Amino acid sequence: MSSTALPKRVALHRNPTTESSVPSSVSPSPFDSPRQSPSSTSLSSMASDAENVGGKMLDTYGNEFKIPDYTIKQIRDAIPAHCYERSAATSLYYVFRDMAILAAVFYVFHNYVTPETVPSFPARVALWTIYTVVQGLVGTGVWVLAHECGHQAFSPSKVLNDTVGWICHSLLLVPYFSWKISHGKHHKATGNLARDMVFVPKSREVYASRIGRAAHELSELMEETPIATAIHLVLQQLFGWPMYLLTNVTGHNNHERQPEGRGKGKKNGYFGGVNHFNPSSPLYEAKDAKLIALSDLGLAITGAILYYVGSNYGWINLLVWYGIPYLWVNHWLVAITFLQHTDPSLPHYEPEAWDFTRGAAATIDRDFGFVGQHIFHDIIETHVLHHYVSTIPFYNAREASEAIKKVMGSHYRTQAHTGWTGFLKAMWTSARVCQFVEPTEGAMGESKHVLFFRNTNGIGVPPAKVAAK
C-alpha cells in the first residue's frame, strides 16, 4: 500500500517538531504519546503559521486535506460482483457457531468451575472473570451479526434478516428495529454535523460552554489532566451505550429541522422526548410505531427471562452469567463505534459542504488481530467499505475493501496491522486529541464548512485564535 494511504507514524508531543506530510480523507454515502501521519512540512511551522494557510484545510496533525473527486459509482463499480452476494446458509452458520460457543463456555464453567472442583475462592474469581471476558467478546460477535441483519447484509430474505436480527439483538437488550432505523439515518448522514446520529463531535462553542469557558479562550487553556481524560473514557465505556439509547447522547440535537417533522420541542436528554423506546420519538416517523413496539416487546421478553433466572438461581449468579458479559459487550460496541468515527485525521462537514461520498470516507479502518477477524466479524477492519455499501456481507468485505482502495487512493484511512494494542492506544489518543471541531484557521469558501479536531492539550495544530465577542 502506498505511503499516502497508510501514513508513516511519527510521535507528536506538545511542541511538535517532527516531519509529516500530505494525506488523507473523505467522501459521501493510560498509554503513550499520540502518533500519526506523513508530511513534508514540520508540524511546528504549520501550527505557528496557521494564520497563513489561506484556503487550505489542515487536519489535527497539520496534514493538508483535499476533498477527493471520485464518485460513489466508481466505488461500486470497482467491487467484484460476487462480493455483493449474500448467503443465508453462511450467515446462519456464523450465528449458530457463536451461539454454540456461548453455550459451551457456559456449560464448562457452570459444571467445572465450582467450589467442589475449584476449592480456592480467588482461583474461582479469576476463572469466572475470564468467563465474563470471553462471553463478552463472543456476545459482541452476535451483536455484529444482528447488525448485519439490520443492513440486510445477512441474506437476500428481509423476513429472515429481521427475524434473526430481532432475536439476537433482543437477547442482548438491544431494541432491534428502533436501533436499525436510527442507525440507517447515521449511514445516510455520516460526517454531517447537523444530521449524523453517532459520535457527532462538539463544536468549539459547545465544548467551551461545557468546561465553563468562552470560545475565544480555548487557544489559551492549559491541558486537560490525564486523570480527567481517563475518567471521561471510563464513563463513556460503561454508560455510553445505554445513554445513547435513552438520551441520544452522541447523536445530533437538531430534531426540529429534520425532514420527518416530529421534533418540535424535542431535545436530547432524559426528559427531552428523544430516545429509542418511544414510538413518538423524533428518531422515527409515525409509520414506524409498530416496529418500535415490537422492539420493546423483545426487550420485555428478555427482561422476563432474566428476572426468572435471577429469582430462581440467584442475582449474583445472573450478574456473573449475563450482567458482566453484557457490560463487556457494551464496552466493545462503544469502543468500536467511537474509533470508527473519531480520529485526528478525520474531517466533519457542515451541511453546506457535505455529500454522501465525502461523509462515508470520514471513517477509518483499524485492526484488532485475531479477535477482530474471527470473533468480531471484521467490523473493525472493513468499516470504510461498510459505509459505502452496507449490504455487502462481512465475509466478502475484505476483498471488497481492497477493491475500493484503488479508487480512494490517499483518501482511504486505516490503522491496519496495529493489532489490539494499537486499537486500545487509539482510544487514548483520540480521547486526548479529539476534543472539539472547527474549521482550519483562515479557511475560505467551501473550506470554512470542513471541520477538524482540535484540542487544548497542545497536540498538533492549536485551536484558532478568535476575538472575544
Average pLDDT over residues 252-272: 90
- Grid cell of 435 as nine digits: 476534543
pLDDT at 14: 35
Q: What is the mean pLDDT of residues 49-59?
A: 62
Q: Which residues pair with 19 in a beta bridge?
A: 42
The whole-number pLDDT of residue 469 equals: 64
102 compared with 216, residue with greater pLDDT:
102
Q: Would you state the pLDDT for residue 7? A: 39
Contact residues for 319 (Cβ-Cβ < 8 A; gap 6+): none
Instruction: Report yes or no on 320 lying in a domain.
Output: yes
Q: Does position 17 have pLDDT exceeding 70, yes or no?
A: no
pLDDT over 50 at 347, yes or no: yes
**250 to 23, 169, 285, 354: CA distances (angstroms):** 28, 21, 20, 19
Q: Say if 31 falls within a structural domain.
A: no
Indicate whether 12 belongs to any domain: no
Compute the average pLDDT of residues 318-323: 98
Identify whether 41 is part of a domain: no
Can you tell me the mean pLDDT for 390-403?
98
Task: Please state, as a whole number, how many other Cβ atoms lie within 10 Å of the Cβ of residue 8.
Answer: 15
Radius of gyration over every alpha carbon of the chain, rounded to an integer in angstroms: 23
The pLDDT, as a whole number, for residue 341 is 97
What's the confidence (pLDDT) of residue 43?
33
Is pLDDT at 339 greater than 80 in this prediction? Answer: yes
The whole-chain average pLDDT of the chain stands at: 88
- Position 220 scores a pLDDT of 66
Domain assignment present for residue 123? The answer is yes
pLDDT given at position 183? 97
Exposure b/e, 433-458, CB count within 10 A at least 16 = b? bbbbbbbbbbbeeebbbbbbbbbbbe
Higher pLDDT, 50 or 453: 453
123-137, 244-258, 373-387: least confidently modelled range: 244-258
Q: Is 401 exposed, middle or buried (0-12, 13-18, 19+ CB in 10 A)?
A: buried
Smallest CA-to-CA distance from 182 within 284, 273, 250, 277 is with: 284
Residue 51 has pLDDT above 50, yes or no: no
Residue 41 predicted with pLDDT over 80:
no
Q: Give the pLDDT score at 311.
A: 98
Q: Can you tell me the mean pLDDT for 409-435?
A: 93
Mean pLDDT lowest for which of 22-31, 70-79, 168-177, 213-222?
Answer: 22-31
Quote the number of domains for the chain. 1
Cα–Cα dist 69/317, whole Å = 56
pLDDT at 133: 98
Task: Determine contact, residues 286/268, Cβ cutoff 8 Å.
Answer: no
Cβ burial of 81 (10 Å; 0-12, 13-18, 19+) is exposed
Task: Tell me, yes or no, whether 432 lies in a domain.
Answer: yes
Give the number of C-alpha atoms closer than 13 A to the C-alpha of residue 250, restricted to the C-beta side. Answer: 23
261 inside domain: no
Element (H, E) at 426: helix 419-433
Entry pTM: 0.86
Give mean pLDDT, residues 226-244. Answer: 94
Q: Which residues contact 107 (CB under 8 A, 6 or more apart)?
A: none
pLDDT tens, residue by residue, 153-188: 999 999 999 999 999 999 999 999 999 999 999 999
| Helices and strands (DSSP H and E) totals, the chain | 16, 9
Q: Identify whether 50 is part of a domain.
A: no
Which of 3, 171, 192 lies closest to 102 in space, CA to CA?
A: 171
Range of the domain at 441: 72-246+301-454
